[in-house]
Structures are given as structure tokens and as C-alpha cells.
Amino acid sequence: MSDQIQLVEMGPRDGLQNEKTPVSVEARIAFVEALVAAGLNTVEVGAFVSPKAIPQMASSDQVLRGVSHIKGAEFHVLVPNEKGYDAARAAGAEVVSVFAAASEGFSRANINCSVAESIERFKPVLARAKADGVKVRGYISCVLGCPFDGEIKPKAVADLAVTLWDLGCYEISLGDTIGVGTPLKAKEMLRAVGSELPIGNLAMHFHDTYGQALANLYAGMEEGVRVIDAAAGGLGGCPYAPGATGNVATEDVVYMLEGMGVKTGIDMDRLLAATSEIAGLLGRPPVSRVASALNAKRRRLGNS
């Protein structure tokens, strides 16, 4: 457990994509700058998807260009197809992400095609990325349950992960999109995938709908996974997963890890400031338990 843990910050993309209040390009750039200043050096900053489908991700090209001056950080963007890849590359993308679902029901609801068809769509992206020297991260949605198909078999997740790996993804992020997983199920799924792929190339992307995300992450760490996706303030959710809440809050993950003696290199004060700023723009408090507790503590101390 003393091994280094890599945090991948999802707030500017996965966090904002399901928020009803639009956030300007300037504010999204400032959010990324604040997150990097807090020590989060790997940040997914946008998605090159249809603005009609997900308007919150409109102008992701401007966001990517707007953060290009930041040194020492790696910025990821989501691309669904070659058109998105073209736009991402034109904006300077050096790392892109593709996504597939472990369930047919979610795939059809999300991108209106079967799992097999979704893979065919991004095969050209992976081929071109390889030729261009661009890294590709692969996401798998609904690894621990689907809002349409119910329970997902670990073998289905493992088979899809192998497909993405064989196509050239350097890392596979395993997403509990609707947050229904529990620790033993998370372990079972990770063991199934880890029996096929190097555990060091897997990441956990767990949403916190039922309050199980931290427990599931701990279970995954016991299995040897060392990459964790999180979103500042617990922002977001999924537009195609009814009732799903946001990704596990970065503050909560950092608090857990630091409490376990795992050094994250994250400045909690700066992270809280970034979270408070974006929460203010969204007009609601952060979902993060740690942010709520520490902000309340500071208010009490300020009033004493």
C-alpha cells in the first residue's frame, strides 16, 4: 500500500459534462490551472463530442489550447471517432481517450450502437494515434453494473479490456458508471481483468452513487491497482445513466490515501480552493465529504 498512487483528475470533463449549469471556456481553463497548481498533473480537460449531445463539452478545443502553456502536466481529451480525433489533434492533443461499454444496453443508449460497432468506430482512431505517436487511454463503462442490463459478468469486462489493449491502449480505465459496485464484486472484476492484462496498466474509475467508491478503491488497491480516476468535489455523473452521481471526490481519495501513509503530492488547501471556485460557479456545494468537513471547520475557526 506504500506504493505510489497516480491520480487522474476527471473534474473538467467527467465532472462538468453532466452539470446543468454551463461553465465558460475561461472558467474551465482556470479550473484546470487551479487543479494543476494543487498537484494534479494528469487532467482530462474535455471531450470532442457533438455539442448537441453534450453541450457542456462545447469548445473543448479552446480549453485544450488555453491550458497548453502549463508545463509538467499531461492533458487528456475524450474522442469518440475520427472526426473527434481530427479536432483534438488540431488543438494539440497528445493523449486521447476512447470508450466502450461492457453492456449492450448502455452502449446503445449512450452512443446508439452495439459494443462491437463502437469498437469498429474507434479502430481507425487507434491506428492513426499509433502512427502519430499519440497515447490512447481506453475506458470501459458499466463494469460493475448497468442501468439497462443489470449485472455484468467479469469475463465480459475482461474480454473487452483485452480487445482495447490489443488495439493499442496503454491503460484501461474500468468504470463503475452508476456506482453500484461493492468491494468483493470490485475485487472479482479486477481479478478477472488482471488475469488477462498487467495490473499496472489498469485504472479504477468508480462513481459514488451508493457511497461505496472509497471502499471499492481500497479493495482494488489490495489487488495491486495503482491508478485512480477522481473528480474534484465529486462533480458530475453520466448523461446516460439515470440517477448516477459523480465520480468519487478527489479530496476524499486524497484524504484516505494520506491517512494510509500514501503520499499523493496534492496540496489539499489548493484543491479545496479549486473545488470551492467551481462549485460556486455551478451554484451548489461540493459533494465531497472531506471538502464539506474542512470548509465547515474553517468557518468555525474563522468565527471563533
Condensed to tens digits (0 to 9), the pLDDT of residues 8-42 reads 999 999 999 988 888 999 999 999 999 999 999 99
- The model's confidence at residue 194, banded by pLDDT at 50, 70 and 90, is very high
Mean pLDDT for all residues in the chain: 93
- The model's confidence at residue 144, banded by pLDDT at 50, 70 and 90, is very high
**In percent, how much of the chain has pLDDT > 70?**
96
Q: All 3 cell numbers of residue 41?
A: 498533473
Q: Among 29-43, 183-197, 234-248, whose mean pLDDT is lowest? A: 234-248
Strands (E), 144-279: 171-176, 202-206, 227-230
User: Which pLDDT value is given to residue 2?
Assistant: 57
User: Which pLDDT value is given to residue 112?
Assistant: 76
Catalytic residue among 142, 146, 169, 238: 238
* Number of CB atoms found within 10 A of residue 12's CB: 31
- The model's confidence at residue 304, banded by pLDDT at 50, 70 and 90, is low
User: Which pLDDT value is given to residue 301?
Assistant: 81
Q: Counting Cβ atoms within 10 Å, is residue 20 exposed (0-12), middle (13-18) or buried (19+)? A: exposed
Is 146 catalytic? The answer is no
Angle at 108 between CA 105 and CA 112, to 5 degrees: 175
Q: Counting Cβ atoms within 10 Å, is residue 289 exposed (0-12), middle (13-18) or buried (19+)? A: middle
Q: Among 98-102, 183-187, 234-238, 283-287, whose mean pLDDT is lowest? A: 234-238
For residue 172, is pLDDT > 90? Answer: yes
User: Which pLDDT value is given to residue 252?
Assistant: 98
Strand partners, 249: 231
- Determine the Cα–Cα distance for residues 272 and 39; give it in Å rounded to an integer: 12
Strands (E), 179-280: 202-206, 227-230
- Determine the Cα–Cα distance for residues 287 and 18; give it in Å rounded to an integer: 14
User: Which pLDDT value is given to residue 240?
Assistant: 59
Could you tell me the sign of the dihedral formed by the alpha carbons of 263, 213, 278, 259, in that order? negative
For residue 238, is pLDDT > 70? Answer: no
Query: Over the stretch 211-220, which tens digit does the pLDDT of each residue have?
Result: 999 999 999 9
- Determine the Cα–Cα distance for residues 21 and 5; give it in Å rounded to an integer: 32
Domains and CATH numbers, the chain: 6-301 (3.20.20.70)
Which whole-number Å values give the CA distances from 186 to 142, 152, 160, 215, 254, in the listed order? Answer: 12, 11, 16, 9, 20
